[in-house]
Amino acid sequence: MKNILNIILLLFVMATNAFAATDNIALYVKDIVVDWSGGGGTKDVENNTFNYKKYANNYWDIHDLNTNIYSKVVFTFAQAVNYEHMNVTVTYSDGSNTNDVIESGATSHTLTFEENKTIVKIALSLGMDIPDDNATIHFGSVIIHAKNSTGNISTMPVKSPKLGTGMGNPLLDFLFCADPTAIEYNGRLYVYGTNDHQQYEEAEVNSYEAIKTLAMMSTDDMVNWTYHGLIPVGDIAPWIMASWAPSIISKPQADGSTLFSLYFSNSGWGVGVIQAKSPVGPWTSPLIASLIDGKNPIVAGSGSIFDPGAVIDDNGDGWISFGNGQGWIAKLNPDLHSFASDPVKTPSSFHFEANELNYINGTYVYTYNNDWEDHSSWTWGGVAPTACSMAYFTSTDPLNPDSWTYGDNYFKNPGDNGMPYCNNHTHLHKYQDKWYLFYQANVLEPSIGSSGGFRSILVDEIEVDEENVSISECKPTYEGVTAIKNINPYTDQYAATAAATLGIKYIPTKEAGHMVATIGTPSKSASVPSEGIIEVRNVEFTGNGNLKCLMKGEGTVSIRLDDKNGKDIATIACLDDNWQSKTTVTEGELKGTHTLYLILKGNVQLDTWQFVDETETNIENVVATKEHGEQKVYDIHGRKLNSIPHDRNIYIVGGKKCLLK
């Protein structure tokens, strides 16, 4: 039992840290979000210049800065601006703008923000009379000034494109990952992807060679995702060069277990496989080399032997596709790590990568990503696929190359639909009677502070005609999909389950796939924040209850409902290096469906949370103090009350816990 003064002191220290003086913020050329994916302008990071194109909207994605804290932006130029009517526009969260003009000859320019606003974007653009439709600006510095500045210069704080917005994409807002695949097991959908974040931590540009881990997550509602951490493929199979683009299948075994086989690109050289008896591991390598690679005489010389796509058909047979420039398909043995047939070619005109297999209504569906070339010479009928898009073919006899029929171009490049252009990789999956398309796009980069081509996994619903095995075109959205069920807060919920996060880092435990939350940042350049936020959506309360958390460390966990900046309705303090189950009273009415925010402060780790019956007796006693010889009344959080409460179930008098009847 901890003295109330210790808890108050802890809260005071954390509150003091949270409201420290504010640094100025520097903006850089490398962080400009380029309109039209380069068609609207070009960066020269080395020389700190940007070439602006007329009509383009190139901007800095500002991370929800409050203009009562930040007052102005100051531009300095290494060379005087020699264009008329260079425009600067600040956009606020309510849609309003502050506009100004940088006149020709300027070596600096200051724009003052409107007060009581939240900044979301700062953009430079050209007026109508710029010669040759472009202008090159030589930047010295771009600094956002705080009213009560420390005088220090920092970078943009990390934000989430999802927190408090209702947006569902990308699935994870704290980790770059790509090349999705998925498997259903015991009612949950498990999704896996290339861990782009490993490359991000090693380099400025995503060239993939440092990636030797794969990311895991799962859901049963399609909105809140449980992060299961990373598969250390490089440790499991130390012979690999890299691990990209996973594809997973599962098969029941004679002993009643389920065998999960996860195939991956061993760089561009081959396809590897690891296996497990659980969808989150632990994983082992059944082979000491690739399942297939460029040494195979049948596929040798046909391009990179990578990007596997696997499926189990209704007969329980496993199949795998792979390739680059030329697609291939082969049947697998029951062990799922050796071939039952030699690979044969698939029809794959303009083939680039991202092979995938599905089995729908007795039909094999092969999908792949087209290259960036002109496809006007398409000879397979229908409408030729657009550049770097996803097309599909169908067959009932997959080892017969002449049996495949072209379906359609079912997913164009995200850049053709308003998102940044990037390479293209999808996974088609049916879950709980709905079809979903998982795909990738570079949508998280501005929020973390990168422009190196690091990708994220997204999902949207897609229409599939199962009877005729026909796939309609899917268009990417930031909104994503809606929840198919609500969360029950009266059962244990993992802190690793979230619809959105900010200032959260997840730490692995000794149990495979089990992560706990603490405060941190996904950015390799940003400072660690003073608090972390976990947003959980569609939490359905049928009544009230007390908050119970499994936690350790020195800090607090608080709960807010529906507003991330709202009132704390419960707070649990922790001062213990060992895992402790702690319970506290929750104030106010809970009944109904809410968005729940868990607020972490201090050096605290959170494993699970739930709401329990209000009569639960393991609520920690709090020692009250005396002032001027008179006993005082406190609530369970240690806050002094003027009198015995009528709106709280538990209160403290003279160090004793009292229950209001």
Say whether both 300 and 359 belong to one domain.
yes
Say whether both 408 and 462 belong to one domain.
yes
User: How deeply is 464 buried, as exposed, middle or buried, from its count of CB atoms within 10 A (0-12, 13-18, 19+)?
Assistant: buried
Say whether both 383 and 277 belong to one domain.
yes
Separation of first and last alpha carbons in the chain: 25
Say whether both 241 and 274 belong to one domain.
yes
Nearest to 230 by CA among 583, 607, 584, 505: 505
Say whether both 532 and 462 belong to one domain.
no
What would the mean pLDDT of 299-307 be, rounded to a whole number? 96
Residue 5 parent element (H or E): helix 4-18
Query: CA 570, CA 548: separation in Å to the nearest integer?
Result: 10
What would the mean pLDDT of 302-315 be, rounded to a whole number? 97
User: How deeply is 642 buried, as exposed, middle or buried, from its count of CB atoms within 10 A (0-12, 13-18, 19+)?
Assistant: exposed
Confirm if 551 and 609 have CB atoms less than 8 A apart: no
If DSSP codes are grouped into helix, strand and coil, which group holds residue 188?
strand
Query: CA 226, CA 220: separation in Å to the nearest integer?
Result: 9
Query: pTM above the 0.85 mark?
Result: yes
Instruction: Note the pLDDT of residue 657.
Output: 58
**Which residues partner with 52 through β-bridges?**
41, 135
> Both tokens of residue 246?
């996973």
At residue 244 the predicted structure's pLDDT band, cuts being 50, 70 and 90, is very high
Instruction: Note the pLDDT of residue 17.
Output: 39
Angle, CA 183 vertex, CA 181 and CA 188 arms, to 5°: 125
pLDDT above 90 for 653: no
129-153 residue pLDDT tens:
666 678 899 999 999 999 999 999 9
Residue 627 maps to a domain: no
Confirm if 390 and 354 have CB atoms less than 8 A apart: yes
What would the mean pLDDT of 66-88 be, rounded to a whole number? 94
Q: Which residues of 428-454 are buried (b: 16+ CB within 10 A; e: fewer)?
A: bbbbeeebbbbbbbbbbbbbbbbbbbb
Instruction: Note the pLDDT of residue 638.
Output: 55
pLDDT above 50 for 94: yes
90: CATH: 2.60.120.260
pLDDT above 80 for 523: yes
pLDDT above 70 for 81: yes
Quick one: the chain helix, strand, coil %, rounded to 5? 5, 45, 45
How far are the Cα atoms of 182, 245, 437, 462 from residue 430, in angstroms, in the given order?
A: 10, 20, 9, 10
What would the mean pLDDT of 475-491 be, rounded to a whole number? 97
Say whether both 34 and 98 belong to one domain.
yes
If DSSP codes are grouped into helix, strand and coil, which group holds residue 53?
strand
Instruction: Note the pLDDT of residue 642.
Output: 61
Say whether both 106 and 189 belong to one domain.
no
Which residue's entry shows tokens 């994916």?
37
If DSSP codes are grouped into helix, strand and coil, which group holds residue 465?
strand
Say whether both 411 and 532 belong to one domain.
no
pLDDT above 90 for 247: yes
If DSSP codes are grouped into helix, strand and coil, which group holds residue 402?
helix
pLDDT above 90 for 658: no
Confirm if 42 and 64 have CB atoms less than 8 A apart: no
Residues 6+ apart with CB under 8 A from 139: 29, 48, 49, 50, 75, 76, 77, 78
Q: Which residues of 257-274 are buried (b: 16+ CB within 10 A; e: fewer)?
A: eebbbbbbbbbbbbbbbb
> Both tokens of residue 445?
């980069």
17-42 residue pLDDT tens:
333 458 999 999 988 988 766 678 89
**Which residues partner with 318 through β-bridges?**
312, 332
At residue 622 the predicted structure's pLDDT band, cuts being 50, 70 and 90, is very low
At residue 640 the predicted structure's pLDDT band, cuts being 50, 70 and 90, is low
Query: CA 271, CA 423: separation in Å to the nearest integer?
Result: 20
User: What does the chain come to in residues?
Assistant: 661
Tell me the residue type at 497.
Answer: T
At residue 3 the predicted structure's pLDDT band, cuts being 50, 70 and 90, is very low
435-447 residue pLDDT tens:
999 999 999 999 9
Please count the other Cβ atoms lying within 10 Å of the Cβ belonging to residue 65.
25
Confirm if 103 and 87 have CB atoms less than 8 A apart: no
For a pLDDT cut of 70, what percent of the chain falls above it? Answer: 88
Instruction: Note the pLDDT of residue 574.
Output: 94
Residue 462 parent element (H or E): none
Residue 456 maps to a domain: yes
Residue 635 maps to a domain: no
157-207 residue pLDDT tens:
899 999 999 999 999 999 999 999 999 999 999 999 999 999 999 998 999
What's the number of domains the chain is made of? 3
Say whether both 413 and 538 belong to one domain.
no
> Both tokens of residue 524?
């390799």
Say whether both 605 and 494 belong to one domain.
yes
Residue 251 maps to a domain: yes
At residue 643 the predicted structure's pLDDT band, cuts being 50, 70 and 90, is low
> Both tokens of residue 285?
């390598």
Confirm if 541 and 594 have CB atoms less than 8 A apart: yes
Query: CA 228, CA 447: separation in Å to the nearest integer?
Result: 22
Residue 65 maps to a domain: yes
Q: Calculate the average pLDDT of the chain.
A: 90
Which residue's entry shows tokens 């659980």?
278
Residue 324 maps to a domain: yes
Instruction: Note the pLDDT of residue 168.
Output: 98
Cα 50 from chain centroid?
29
Angle, CA 570 vertex, CA 569 and CA 574 arms, to 5°: 155
Which residue's entry shows tokens 């980790």?
175
Instruction: Note the pLDDT of residue 209.
Output: 95
Give the neighbor-by-neighbor strand order of the sheet with 258-266.
Answer: 244-252, 258-266, 270-276, 292-293
Give 189's DSSP letter.
E
Residue 638 maps to a domain: no
pLDDT above 50 for 55: yes
At residue 462 the predicted structure's pLDDT band, cuts being 50, 70 and 90, is very high
Say whether both 298 and 432 belong to one domain.
yes
Say whether both 438 and 523 belong to one domain.
no
222: CATH: 2.115.10.20
Query: Rounded to the nearest 10 degrees, how much is the dihedral formed by the CA atoms of 373, 374, 380, 381?
Result: 140
Residue 142 maps to a domain: yes
By residue range, what is the domain housing residue 110?
23-147
pLDDT above 80 for 618: no
- Weakest-pLDDT range from 47-61, 343-357, 631-645: 631-645
